[in-house]
Amino acid sequence: MPKPDKIRIPLDEGRFENIGRLPDGTQFMLFVTGAFPTGLKYHSGDDWQLKKKWLAVRHRFDGDGNHLDTESRLGAFDIEGRDVAGDKAFGHLEQMYAELCTAGPLEFCDIRVRLFSVEVDGVTHGLFYEQSEEELDPDEVRGEWVMLEPRDIMFHPPWDSGEYST
């Protein structure tokens, strides 16, 4: 299967409950996530809690799915406690949601967006296409997926299915 033109992200309570369209057709996605600085993965070193951030994130896309902008607001670092950091990030998420609502009523629905990459405050955000690098037998098909980072959510083909795993 070729690299996707667009990925369908389904409206889904829990993972993707804050996605949809503004009255002008602009698509949006909001969420809270834990994130390490670009290049640092997971619990590396004794001071990882000083590096892991909890963020409120807002992505906007035009009606055709092209990335317009990303805003990220720091809740706190994990060292303050996951609950404290998460609560602060969710407070920012509520503010971002209120700001979107000033454009008029939001339509919560599936969105279809293109791959993108942007770095904000030292954290890489985006949708990234990847393929397995394993040696394949002639009758095997190479594995492929699209990752939503830094949330670490994997979308699976067919790309318009909205299927994902965590």
User: What are 34-71's pLDDT values in tens digits?
Assistant: 999 887 766 667 788 888 999 999 999 999 999 999 99
Residue 96 pLDDT > 80, yes or no?
A: yes
150 lies in a domain? no
| Structural domain range at position 70 | 7-114
Where are the alpha helices (H) located in 2-81, listed in sequence order? 48-51
75 lies in a domain? yes
The total of structural domains in the chain comes to 1
pLDDT of residue 131: 86
The 10 Å Cβ neighbour count of residue 66 is 13
CA-nearest of 66, 67, 71 to 89 is: 71
pTM of the model: 0.90
Determine which helix (DSSP H) or strand (DSSP E) holds 16, and give its type and residue range: none
89 lies in a domain? yes
